[in-house]
Amino acid sequence: MTNDYRYSMQPQAFASAPTPAVRPPEAEARSTSPEPSLKNPEPSPKIDVKDVRAYYGTNRVLNNITLAIRTNEVTALIGPSGCGKSTFLRSLNRMNDVVPGARVEGTILIDNQDILAPSVDVVDLRRRVGMVFQKSNPFPKSIFDNVAFGLRINRMTRSREELRGRVEQSLKAAALWDEVRDRLQMSALSLSGGQQQRLCIARALAVEPEIVLMDEPASALDPIATQRIEELIYDLKSRYTIVIVTHNMQQAARVSDVTAFFWLGSLVECGRTDQIFTAPSQKLTEDYVTGRFG
Ligand code: ADP
Ligand code: MG
């Protein structure tokens, strides 16, 4: 097993973070001292998974997964069906809590806080760690009300004006605004499949998550809708930490910075996506990414 990529990654991970056009004065003052990134080239990961095991009843489906996930990157989880990708993804926002018989052990630190601790407020955790599923699942409500849903239940806006602004902002972030701005009161179910999936992304973004988990978000979509989702994922990474499960290796190669290959509940290899696809260190990874088994 190799999982040493966390020790070899360069601070270039932050190259995609937006740079302010005008430097604030205090940044000038600081710039005379050495860059913090040079002193500490390995800032702590956004999500630090250590020895995570998951069970359904007595059946162990994740074997001591250790993996560091960094901010402003897209991390793709690949591997054959049943290898534990969805279980792993769901453990990152405690969604396995709602699966009967499921149990997760080990440590998952998000910003250094152990989210598996019983004292964690899971409602707040799931606001911070949003999720988008394979099958888009808009509520049978208007487009507007779908996006406003989480803002309303979390009482995140103080006026109708602010609510409208946040809905618009979220629809723009999900690259859907131009298609729906004139029909916000129409049912979300009147949208196409690809639009519904972008609506679900807008709904997830509305509550200002830091991390977005996507479980095969494009696998039910046609190629054009898939391309839009992939472009969107690429755009979103400058503001979020994104973890995506995909069974489509070309998609992993196109959208992700880091790829983690799972097999039979174990993490076989994790590394920069180009390395995983061109020079994997494990034979099993090579066999999988070259399509020798699936
Ligand atoms: P993947 O997403 O890679 O296809 P999953 O995480 O869905 O894999 O499944 C991993 C293993 O856990 C599989 O053997 C699957 O049958 C089992 N599993 C998944 N969900 C449940 C469940 N709700 N109850 C029992 N077993 C489950
Ligand atoms: Mg799955």
By C-alpha distance, which of 106, 74, 26, 20 is closest to 229? 74
Per-residue pLDDT of 194-205, as tens digits, reads: 999 999 999 999
pLDDT at 161: 97
pLDDT value at 287 more than 90: yes
- Lowest mean pLDDT, pick from 24-38, 167-181, 243-257: 24-38
CA distance 45 to 5: 12
CA distance 200 to 157: 20
pLDDT value at 14 more than 80: no
Mean pLDDT, the chain, integer: 88
φ, ψ dihedrals at 223, nearest 5°:
-60, -35
CB under 5 Å of ion ligand 2: residues = 86
Dihedral angle of Cα 249, 255, 257, 259, to the nearest 10 degrees: -20
Place 39 in a pLDDT band, splitting at 50, 70 and 90.
low
CA distance 3 to 101: 29
pLDDT value at 218 more than 60: yes
Place 13 in a pLDDT band, splitting at 50, 70 and 90.
very low
Per-residue pLDDT of 49-68, as tens digits, reads: 999 999 999 999 999 999 99
Which residue puts its alpha carbon closest to atom 20 of ligand 1? 87
| Pocket lined around ligand 1, Cβ cut-off 6 Å | 56, 61, 79, 81-87, 99
Ligand 1 centroid – CA 94 distance (Å): 15
CA distance 82 to 270: 18
pLDDT at 5: 38
pLDDT at 46: 97
CA distance 21 to 135: 39
pLDDT value at 168 more than 80: yes
pLDDT value at 40 more than 90: no
Place 157 in a pLDDT band, splitting at 50, 70 and 90.
very high
Which residue puts its alpha carbon closest to atom 24 of ligand 1? 56
Ligand 1 atom at minimum distance from 90 CA: 6
What is the residue extent of each domain of the chain? Answer: 42-137+211-289
pLDDT at 44: 84
Give the pLDDT mean for 237-242: 95
pLDDT value at 34 more than 60: no
pLDDT at 164: 98
Ligand 1 atom at minimum distance from 262 CA: 3
Dihedral angle of Cα 224, 141, 96, 288, to the nearest 10 degrees: -10
Domain 42-137+211-289 CATH assignment equals 3.40.50.300? yes
The encoded tokens of residue 82 equal 């049943």
By C-alpha distance, which of 131, 53, 57, 54 is closest to 100? 57
The fraction of the chain above a pLDDT of 90, given in percent, is 81
Place 15 in a pLDDT band, splitting at 50, 70 and 90.
very low
Give the pLDDT mean for 107-123: 97
Which residue puts its alpha carbon closest to atom 5 of ligand 1? 84
Ligand 1 atom at minimum distance from 101 CA: 24
Place 43 in a pLDDT band, splitting at 50, 70 and 90.
confident
Ligand 1 mutation pick, 65, 87, 88, 266, max ligand atoms within 8 A of CB: 87
